[in-house]
Chains A and B, each alone.
Chain A
Amino acid sequence: MTSLTDRYLAATLRSVPTGRREEIATELRASIGDMIDDRTAAGQDAGAAEREVLTELGDPAQLAARYADRRLQLIGPTYYLAWQRLLILLLSIVPAIAGVAVGVVQATVSDNPAGAIGSGVSVAFNVAVQIAFWVTLVFAVLERLGTPLDLPDWSVDQLPDHPVERDVTLTDVCASIVFLVLLIAFLPWQQFQSVIGPDGERLPILDPALWGFWLPLLLVVLLASIGLEIAKYRARRWTWPLVGVNAVLNLAFAVPAIWLLANDRLLNPEFVARFAWLRDGGLDTVARISIVVIVAVTIWDIVDSAVKARRSAR
């Protein structure tokens, strides 16, 4: 029967370089024996003493790593910053390009806009996962091999010209763009994909008549808003021209939306007819709340951009 010590030694030596295995085994066995003897001499039961000693020595994998002088980390401080910068750079460019490219191609070959957006999003996601995996793998291998990166040393010349007081952070911009993309995706989705009713009937939520003019207008405004987000990020801060464009776009979205809501022209009459509470006055409540929210968000957004532009102009 193999003792606990034998099993512990086997587990430790598995990941210690072969050349030194024998010697480490003999020494470690003796050390464990000494430690057990010390405890049994003090009157402890041999089995309990063995357990206690091995517990004190801890996880064999960790002990082996210490013998082999191996660091227990995937990517250490030498490579971390290079890894992080490369990853951010690639993730902020490649998935978006791949996703948009696939989405556009899909949209031109099939007449299913929602499907095209779906496959674009899924391609972007897959590309992002692949990038993260491969970049991390390459850096983890570099870390194991200890390959020098030979990157140029940091120098003060690399400091950005302006203090990097970004009013506009990448996270904010990405969040806004994701929101806008979802909103854009919603318009064709509600037309073709929304399922209403137990028999899987498809019924547009918004009045299909609006596709004649109003919905395309809102789509254009939303697309322009994405452009504004990108321009804002590149400018690093709110500038007065950006504030102006932002106000125009906000109003170009809010005014038609409010007008349509107020005149009960936004929702599909068939859709409204389906729900008793919408028919019986609920529609007015929905419209009223929506109008208040749109007005509040629009005013807040315009004022906020103006305040930020004023602050960074100083």
Chain B
Amino acid sequence: MVSDDVLRTHLQELRRGTVVVASLVALRRPDYGYALLQRLTGHGFPVDANTLYPLLRRLEEQGLLTSEWNTEESRPRKFYRTSESGEQLLRRLLDDLAAVQTSLTTLIEGAPR
């Protein structure tokens, strides 16, 4: 039986990069921090607020997201959107994710049981 600790760390490792992919996909439609967090959680990507907010800023600094302040609502909100270079990176990441899935599938099917 695998211990809970071991399971948790491996799941964490496996999930780590997927938050970036999911954010880049989700932000094809502009959104602000907390709304994005809820959308991601709703789609099965639970992510901590203290991870996501700094991540969004980092992706912006890397030019993968653009941002725009919306001051029309009750409180000023920063809306992020996937940039052109973010889109390019995302396509590479999605290809790679698919490749990993394919490799795994062939490995599972090809593996002697």
Determine if chain A interacts with chain B: yes
With contact pairs A24-B57, A67-B57 given, residues A30 and B75 touching in the complex (Cβ less than 8 Å): yes
The answer to the question of B63 belonging to the interface, with a C-beta cut-off of 8 Å to chain A, is no
A66 close to B51 (CB less than 8 A): yes
A27 interface residue (CB < 8 Å to B): yes
User: Out of A23, A38, A62, which one reaches B34, CB within 8 Å?
Assistant: A38
A 201-216 to B, binary, CB cutoff 8 A, 1 in contact else 0: 0000000000000000
Known A29-B75, A31-B32, A35-B34; further 13 A-B contacts with Cβ < 8 A: A30-B76, A30-B78, A31-B33, A34-B34, A34-B35, A56-B48, A57-B49, A57-B50, A66-B51, A66-B54, A67-B53, A67-B57, A69-B54
Is the pair A63, B54 in contact by a Cβ cutoff of 8 Å? yes
Cα distance A66–B75 in the bound complex, in angstroms = 24
Residues of A within 8 A of B (CB): 20, 23-24, 26-31, 33-35, 38, 56-58, 62-63, 66-67, 69
Assuming A30-B78, A67-B57, is B33 touching A62 (CB within 8 A)? no
Chosen A-B contacts, 10 in total, with CB atoms closer than 8 Å, are A27-B77, A27-B78, A30-B32, A31-B53, A35-B49, A38-B34, A57-B49, A62-B50, A63-B50, A66-B54
Which bucket holds chain B's interface residue count? Answer: 10 to 19
Contact B49 A56 (CB under 8 A): yes
Q: How far is the CB of B64 from chain A (nearest CB, A)?
A: 14
- Per-residue CB contact flags for chain B residues 93-107 toward chain A (1 = under 8 Å, else 0) read 000000000000000
Cβ-based interface call for B10 (8 A) = no
Which one of A20, A24, A33, A58 lies within 8 Å of B75 (CB-CB)? A33
Determine which residue in B34, B54, B58 has the highest number of CB atoms from chain A within 10 A of its CB, and name it. B54
Known: A26-B76, A38-B34, A69-B58. A31 touches B50 (CB 8 A): no
The secondary-structure label for the interface of chain A is: helix
Q: For A62, give the chain B residue with the smallest CB separation.
A: B50
Count A-B contacts at CB 8 Å. 51
Residues of chain B within 8 A of A56, CB atoms compared: 48-50
Contact with A along B25-45 (1 / 0, CB 8 A): 000000011110010000000
**Are B50 and A27 in contact (CB-based, < 8 A)?**
no
Across the interface, B49 reaches (CB within 8 A) one of A20, A31, A33, A62, namely A31
> Do A27 and B49 have beta carbons less than 8 Å apart?
no
Closest-CB distance, B3 to chain A (whole angstroms) = 25
| Separation of A279 and B51 alpha carbons in the complex (Å) | 76
| CA distance in complex: A139, B22 (Å) | 37
| Pair A34/B33 contact, Cβ less than 8 Å | yes
Binary interface encoding of chain B residues 41-71 relative to chain A, with 1 for a CB under 8 A from any of its CBs, else 0? 0000000111101100110000000000000
Among A20, A27, A56, A69, max chain B CB count under 10 A is at A27
Contact A67 B54 (CB under 8 A): yes
Q: Which residues of B contact A29 (CB under 8 A)?
A: 75
Cβ of B35: which chain A residues have Cβ within 8 Å of it?
34
In the assembled complex, which residues on chain A have CB atoms less than 8 Å from the CB atom of B58? 69
Question: Of the candidates B38, B48, B51, B53, which one forms a contact with A27 in the assembled complex, judged by CB atoms under 8 Å apart?
Answer: B53
